């Protein structure tokens, strides 16, 4: 089983977005050395907690500061953008980092309705939902398959040709599984958002139609994880993100709080009293290396996943790095994954 990283560039209380972005570059270098298979950066807007507003801006520096690991978006929220512009961006990134760039596409806005409206170029009306058409156009640019009669046919000659990114579809709901299967795309499911996706990935596998992108289905499951030397330490470190999510459910956006304040907040709020139903059902794999391995392997088995992507948010950057180091050691990534990853790079 491959193990990878999803980075949301968390901003800690008392720190800055600039520091968070430098921390992302630092963590990417470490993940490359530790043997993780790929490193994806997320897209979120209008929040003081996360600095990941532009994956394509981060992917270039990450690609040039690493040597082996696959690098990509987790994901690009396509409704905000022109399919041509996305295709050109990732074509250029693919030319700069041949055989290492992933383009994972999402439908969700990655923000609240007001910020989504602010991102629109045309604000005379609410943006229509034409995601299937956008996705089809994007894939046609990447694959060079726009029909000759199409008004944009001549634009298929992308700047990074012949290199191209490997497209993925992100999802946390039934419709994304349907589209991924119909289009023959590899599928990345966000268990950290919706832990009830195993039936959806099973449906995706059953209905998968082979394509130029994949001859067989491929599944990543993204899991929220915090690992430390002991279960107790890991639970304390995880409190920072749990507090942030609780306040987010109340419409209060904050940077990632310090551990001691987060622990006090959760103790005063009670174990579950302040949670909404959606927050209560979110899965967290938290504990020592052995505990985390057991939890991660259980999620992977549930989804029949080919790969697990770990997303970790802590207040302290060193604690986040240590969490990924412990996971790499527990799964033996330094011995196994670096070899398997490098041997597969020429296929995608």
Tokens linked to 275: 């949670």
Q: Which letter, b or e, does each residue of 268-288 get, where b requires 16 or more Cβ atoms within 10 Å of its Cβ?
A: eeeeeebbeeeeeeebbbbbb
State yes or no: pLDDT of 131 exceeds 60.
Answer: yes
Tokens linked to 191: 């268990």
CA distance 30 to 322: 10
pLDDT category at 341 given cuts 50, 70, 90 is very low
State yes or no: pLDDT of 293 exceeds 50.
Answer: yes
CB-count exposure of residue 323 (10 Å: 0-12, 13-18, 19+): buried
State yes or no: pLDDT of 55 exceeds 60.
Answer: yes
CA distance 331 to 342: 17
What's the CATH number where 80 sits? 3.20.20.30
State yes or no: pLDDT of 343 exceeds 80.
Answer: no
* Residue 239 is assigned to a structural domain of this protein: no
Range with the poorest average pLDDT among 7-21, 32-46, 269-283 = 269-283
* Residue 182 is assigned to a structural domain of this protein: yes
Q: Higher model confidence: residue 199 or residue 344?
A: 199
State mean pLDDT over 281-286.
Answer: 90
Range with the poorest average pLDDT among 48-52, 103-107, 149-153, 199-203 = 149-153
* Residue 101 is assigned to a structural domain of this protein: yes
* Residue 241 is assigned to a structural domain of this protein: no
Q: Higher model confidence: residue 296 or residue 274?
A: 296
Per the structure, how many domains does the chain have?
A: 1
Per-residue confidence (pLDDT) for residue 119, from 0 to 100: 74
What is the DSSP track for 85-111?
HHHHHHHHHHHHSTT-EEEEEE-S-SS
Q: Higher model confidence: residue 348 or residue 278?
A: 278
Rg (CA), the chain: 20
* Residue 75 is assigned to a structural domain of this protein: yes
Per-residue confidence (pLDDT) for residue 220, from 0 to 100: 98
Q: What percent of the chain has pLDDT over 70?
A: 91
State yes or no: pLDDT of 348 exceeds 60.
Answer: no
State mean pLDDT over 199-213.
Answer: 98
Per-residue confidence (pLDDT) for residue 294, from 0 to 100: 98
State mean pLDDT over 321-329.
Answer: 98
* Residue 250 is assigned to a structural domain of this protein: no
* Residue 235 is assigned to a structural domain of this protein: no
Q: Higher model confidence: residue 213 or residue 146?
A: 213
* Residue 59 is assigned to a structural domain of this protein: yes
Q: Which domain holds residue 316?
A: 2-228+286-347
Cα of first residue to Cα of last residue in the chain, in angstroms, is 18
Per-residue confidence (pLDDT) for residue 109, from 0 to 100: 67
């Amino acid at each position: 089983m491959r193990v990878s990283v999803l980075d949301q560039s968390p901003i800690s209380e008392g720190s800055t977005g600039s520091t968070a972005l430098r921390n992302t570059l630092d963590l990417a270098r470490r993940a490359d050395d530790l043997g993780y298979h790929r490193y994806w950066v997320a897209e979120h807007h209008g929040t003081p907690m996360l600095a990941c507003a532009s994956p394509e801006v981060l992917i270039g520096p990450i690609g040039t500061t690493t040597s082996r690991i696959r690098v990509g978006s987790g994901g690009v929220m396509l409704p905000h953008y022109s399919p041509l512009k996305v295709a050109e961006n990732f074509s250029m990134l693919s030319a700069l980092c041949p055989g290492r760039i992933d383009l994972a596409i999402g439908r969700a806005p990655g923000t609240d309705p007001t910020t989504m409206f602010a991102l629109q170029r045309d604000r005379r009306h609410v943006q229509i939902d034409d995601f299937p058409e956008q996705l089809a156009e994007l894939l046609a640019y990447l694959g060079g398959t726009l029909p000759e009669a199409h008004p944009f046919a001549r634009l298929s000659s992308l700047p990074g040709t012949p290199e191209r990114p490997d497209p993925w579809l992100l999802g946390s709901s039934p419709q994304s599984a349907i589209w991924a299967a119909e289009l023959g795309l590899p599928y990345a499911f966000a268990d950290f958002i919706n832990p009830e996706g195993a039936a959806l990935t099973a449906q995706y596998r059953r209905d998968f139609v082979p394509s130029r992108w994949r001859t067989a289905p491929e599944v990543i499951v993204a899991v929220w994880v915090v690992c430390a030397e002991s279960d107790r330490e890991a639970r304390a470190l995880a409190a920072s993100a749990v507090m942030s999510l609780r306040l987010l459910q109340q419409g209060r956006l904050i940077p990632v709080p310090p551990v001691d304040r987060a622990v006090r907040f959760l103790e005063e709020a009670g174990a579950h009293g302040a949670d909404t139903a959606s927050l209560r059902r979110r899965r967290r794999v938290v504990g020592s290396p052995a505990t985390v391995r057991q939890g991660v392997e259980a999620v992977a088995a549930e989804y029949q996943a080919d790969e697990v992507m770990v997303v970790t948010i802590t207040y302290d950057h060193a604690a986040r790095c240590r969490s990924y180091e412990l996971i790499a050691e527990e799964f033996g990534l330094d011995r196994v994954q670096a070899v398997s990853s490098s041997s597969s790079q020429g296929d995608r």
